[in-house]
């Protein structure tokens, strides 16, 4: 099991806002990488209750969830 923790420094390093949703393309790329590396399951402890700042990135993230097939 691997835990990926997103803290304030991580957000700064990724040039993401501290008080707004992250760019979902980052989540999409992570899911693509985890699938490529053979992850058997991905459990995300995030709340995606509102659209991200980039609608295209939201669509990419949704597609990555479908393609991964193992996201909870």
Q: Give the count of domains, the chain.
A: 1
Q: Residue 47 is encoded by which pair of tokens?
A: 């709340």
- Look at residue 15 and tell me if it is in a domain: yes
Q: What is the pLDDT of residue 44?
A: 92
- Look at residue 3 and tell me if it is in a domain: no
Each residue's pLDDT tens digit, 55-67: 999 999 999 999 9
> Euclidean distance between the first and final Cα of the chain, in Å?
15
Range of the domain at 56: 8-68
Number of helices (H), then strands (E), belonging to the chain: the values are 3, 0
- Look at residue 2 and tell me if it is in a domain: no
Each residue's pLDDT tens digit, 15-43: 999 988 889 999 999 999 999 999 999 99
């Amino acid at each position: 099991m691997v835990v990926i923790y997103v803290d304030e420094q991580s957000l700064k390093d990724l040039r993401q806002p501290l008080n707004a949703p992250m760019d979902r393309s980052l989540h999409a790329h992570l899911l693509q990488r985890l699938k490529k590396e053979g992850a058997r399951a991905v459990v995300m402890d995030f709340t995606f209750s509102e659209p991200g700042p980039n609608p295209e990135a939201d669509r990419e993230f949704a597609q990555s969830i479908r393609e991964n097939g193992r996201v909870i």
